[in-house]
Chain A
Amino acid sequence: MQRRVIFDNKLLPYLLLAPQVAVTLVFFIWPAAQAIWQSVHIQDAFGLRSEFVWFENFEVILRDPNYIETLKTTAIFSVSVTVLSLGVALLLAVLADSKIKGARAYKTLLIWPYALAPAVAAVLWMFIFNPEIGSLGQLLNRLGLDWDYRLNGTQAMIMVILAASWKQVAYNFIFFLAGLQAIPRSVMEAASIDGAGPVRRFWTITFPLLSPTTFFLLVVDMVYAFFETFGTIHALTHGGPGKSTETLIFRVYQDGVVNNDLGASSAQSVILMVIVIALTAVQFRFVERKVHYA
């Protein structure tokens, strides 16, 4: 059903929209346009002159084997963070939704990580995984695992994936729990009378009914992993050791801010933007079809 609001004043609707439009213009359209403009220019070392170079920046980047490596790193990182944070959050939400003692306290505790600044969270993870002083780091070494994320790229990757997922679990958990609580109890009871055990009930009733939530979170988590994990990586590993935890977003920062190569950095931002838009479009096109909106 469509509802229309009738305004007497012709100007009022535009005035009401103006703040939103202004924010979008200043914080998204303008920087995005600038990034696109810069991505087709090369600046001299002092930033005084710039030269229009068509797609040279893009060519250089896409020919760079390092950049392809970064793409792979990003894919591994993003898929892992999304799958891990969705999976863990769903498991925790199912547990919290079932009748357990102290469910309220448990729910509140689970929501806390979301309120934590990435840098603070990163320090916490360092205290856990530091090979000399971290509780888990020490334990792993005592078990003979040779744990040092500052030297071992795979270990560093595992740590940033855990840290980035951990923060997002809290967010996913809230949505999954709300989704679970929206499923009428009697539907689950009907299924158990129909003969379905807990596992089958989960896969044939709960999971399909949660699919709108899961789909929404899939998009959100993907975007989170691509864009919003910069702080976590920056604080924990600085993209290292080597370039083993350098994701696209981290490299944009590295090239643009640290190496002052604005053209390359902008071209990368544009590529990143295109990737995320494409991913979101694909998700809406193919995944949403399988989603059951009740």
Chain B
Amino acid sequence: MLKLIFKMAFRDFIMRKARTILTILGVAIGIATVVSLVSISTGTKAQMEKSLAGLADFMVSPSSNAFGTGSKMDYTYYLYIRGFPEVEAAAPYLEGILAVNNKLSLIIGLDPSIDAIHSSPIKEGRSINWSAKEAVAGYAAAQSLNLKVNMILHISKGPGYKGEDFKLVSILERTGGFIDGEIYIPLQYMQRIMKAEGKINGVIIKLKSPNLANSFKQRIKKNLPDLEVFSPGTIMENIGEVLSLLDSVLLAISGVSLLVGVTSVLSTMITNVIEKTREIGVMKAIGASRRQILTIFLFQSVIVCLIGGILGVFFSIGVSPFLEQQISLASGISFQAVYSPELVLGAIALSCLLGVASGFIPSWKAANIQPVEALKYE
């Protein structure tokens, strides 16, 4: 019986090739969309976690300025905060999107105090001399701008502006974090280029102990109410919010594309059942039970969806290098989509489920066809 069901279902494929192929494509596109979206979302999360792993520090900057480039504060705040009893080390920074050899890139001005907080592994070159006009490039920044050690970087406020020349002394190892996409120069020159002498965006802080976080926050709140403390936790929360928003958008898109898949299977199955009304009537007349008819049709729709699903997974994996490239270009972070075995198996399970869901009503209709009516049906 099982084999017969297989054969009947397959025979129908061949007979209705074109329609079946279109349906399979419909399902494949739906599943591919879902798989791609999930792989991107997983990739983004993995990326964020990796980035934040290296960011075990607190940041203090003017309120409403979580990630930098906005409002500035006086350098003297840094000197003040550095003296707080909870603080082990502090480093001022000023960042901006500037032109590097006429291409826009994220530049951060730092000073030697950063060495007490972060040590970035050098891939090539030597460490920066903070008093010279030297620069360090993150892995991805070096790649996208095609930078080589010892190159001279002309950094200016924008293409066309008069800027200053820096010697690239090192390229950093790939970390997977934000620093990959950045170029560092000494803070004093950064301030000069940005025309922000005596200004910084914020201070990176290393506390003596993570337990002091609350007392540090209280102290900032009391003494410097204009400033806000961003802990890795709050950053995580912010990102979490963004990601959950992203997830609900992805969910909506997935829902729509799956709906398209379901609709195409549903309409194909309904057409199939209508076309076969007479045949179904004959089969029932010669002894097929309702369950057997139901199984034949359900099996057919599950097979169509399963093939579509497998194809969809391959589609998605096939286009992922392109998507990764586009996202990397757009975000400036070297992005990688994540295809976990769970995702692949889940997609295949989902496509089976899709087959059952969209095939059930037509199959149920088929199973309940009245033989007498069907035999009169032309």
A binds B: no
- Listed in ascending order, the chain A residues whose CB lies under 8 Å from chain B are none
- Listed in ascending order, the chain B residues whose CB lies under 8 Å from chain A are none
